Amino acid sequence: MVGASIDNADHQLLAEEAEIKSAVLVNNGTTEAPVLPLTDAAKVIAVLGADQEFSLVSSSVPKSCVPNTGRGPCTFHFATDPPLGDRGSARVNGDPATTIGPFAGIQMVAGSSRTVTSGNSAAAAGSADTIVVVVGYTPGDEGEEYAINAGGDRATLNLPTGQNELVASVLDLNKPTIIVVESGSIVNLPWLSHSNKKQATIWAGYGGHRAGVALGKLIFATDGTNFSGKVPLAWPTQAELDKAPFRSEGFATEMGYFFGYREYDRRKAAGQTPAMVFPFGHGLSYSTFKYSNLVVPCGGEQAEKEAVVDITVDIENTSAKDGEEVAMLFVKPPAKPATITGERPVKELKSFAKIAVKANMKATAHLPLRIRDLRRWEGNEGGKWVTDSGEYQILVGKNADDAETSPTVGKLTIKGD
């Protein structure tokens, strides 16, 4: 029903859970001195973020922004406003009475023993001993084509003007700093090279209705809350991306099959060294995990092309904190027959599974692999799907790079066409 509200308690809690489980901790201080989770030493916390104007072509903007017109310019306050996304065809307009942004959420979770303030500059940090900086994009920066004059997709990984400078000025204070990135995709992270290593970065995406509460629970590890999200794409440097840009002179370029991690694997196989910030599937946790005992059934038998193979791996939580881990299964095809006319990827993600593992305990993750998913397209528009016979290599790990070096490697022989 058009105009009907879906804002109820169950939906709010589901939005909070979704953000907790999907936010990605991309870096966390040093091994010897992690920044997160925050301890009792964090008594005064400043939540900072730019105040950025934006406007949209369509009228799908926050209803509280410009009364009567529904159009911009509007101002997005990164420290306080809930990150609801691009305001495209989803028409997401949160109820101000129930939406919770970063400042309010952190303040709620911090409790009465801590002081939480907000502002839009490093000067607003005042006497804070810990700082949270929220950066990212407004609905006018990235989104759907009809809503943004620039055409929807952004042409760079750079954050809007002034945001990197804000982060740098905060890090210059030499205090523990948590940088929260609200964006629909990856961004450049120049602050990783800053001399202040007391920094953690969270890629939060657009966390939605209760993003602030989810953020608060994650940074304080409230009631055992832990990070388990993984980056769903490869994260190259801007220089690497510019070698094959996804936009050129304002027009989207064609995306071929070799895109993302498949493309960077292809470059490695050609003898290049792609400059990556993080691999596909990267994501840290307050827990640490060790993989072992990969079991690929079928033994010496050949798997039929309609089979589903239940591959398992043991995951041990080697820390004192309960956590969830996402195991990723990649498959490398057999040696390329001379009859194949096109290129094949070096490896492809074919299964993954999230599993909860108690502290200092071990659990078994099941990674079902459908043999049909190993088919490839042979020929042009008049071609067909083909399953190659031969020995496939099974790689299981925490991310695309870890799978290549992990000892959890197996083999599966397939009877193809």
Length, in residues, of the chain: 417
Q: Is residue 273 part of a domain?
A: no
Where a domain ends, among 184, 206, 224? 224
Q: Is residue 245 part of a domain?
A: no
**For residue 238, what are its two tokens?**
């801007």
pLDDT tens by residue, 220-275: 999 999 999 999 999 999 889 888 655 544 444 556 678 889 999 999 999 999 99
**Range of 43's domain?**
9-224
pLDDT tens by residue, 63-112: 445 444 445 578 899 999 999 887 766 666 677 788 999 999 999 999 99
Q: Is residue 27 part of a domain?
A: yes
Shared domain for 138 and 216, answered yes or no, is: yes
Q: Output the pLDDT for position 247.
A: 52
Contact 409, 393 (CB under 8 A): yes
Residue 353 sits in a domain whose CATH number is: 2.60.40.10
Which stretches within 141-199 are classed as H helix?
163-171
Where a domain ends, among 195, 224, 253? 224
**3-state SS class at 388:** coil
Q: Output the pLDDT for position 149.
A: 72
Contact 130, 176 (CB under 8 A): yes
Measure CA 238 to chain center.
17
By DSSP bridging, strand 177-182 and strand 130-136 are parallel
Amino acid at 221: A
Contact 291, 398 (CB under 8 A): yes
Nearest Cα neighbor of 189 from 136, 118, 130, 228 is 136
Q: Give the contacts of 358 (CB within 8 A, at least 6 positions apart).
A: 317, 322
Q: Which long-range contacts (CB under 8 A, 24 or more apart) does 403-408 make?
A: 403/328, 403/329, 403/330, 403/347, 404/347, 406/291, 407/291, 407/292, 408/291, 408/292, 408/293, 408/294, 408/313
- In sequence order, the β-bridge partners of residue 44 are 115
CA-to-CA distance for 89 and 87, rounded, in angstroms?
Answer: 7
Residue 71, number of CB atoms within 10 A of its CB: 15
Contact 154, 82 (CB under 8 A): no
Q: Using omega within 30 degrees of 0 as the cis cutoff, is the peptide bond preceding 73 cis?
A: yes
Residue 21 sits in a domain whose CATH number is: 3.40.50.1700
For the chain, the domain total comes to 2
Shared domain for 212 and 313, answered yes or no, is: no
pLDDT in tens, the chain (417 residues): 445 556 788 989 999 999 999 999 999 999 999 999 999 999 999 999 999 988 777 655 554 454 444 455 788 999 999 998 877 666 666 777 889 999 999 999 999 999 999 999 999 998 999 999 999 998 888 877 666 777 777 778 999 999 999 999 999 999 999 999 999 999 999 999 999 999 999 999 999 999 999 999 999 999 999 999 999 999 999 889 888 655 544 444 556 678 889 999 999 999 999 999 999 999 999 999 999 999 999 765 677 878 899 999 999 999 999 999 999 999 999 987 666 777 789 999 999 999 999 999 999 999 999 999 999 888 888 888 888 888 999 999 999 999 999 999 999 998 877
Q: Give the contacts of 361 (CB within 8 A, at least 6 positions apart).
A: 316, 317
CA-based R_g, the chain, Å:
23
Where a domain ends, among 207, 224, 241? 224
Q: Is residue 214 part of a domain?
A: yes
Which contiguous run of DSSP H or E holds residue 323? strand 323-332
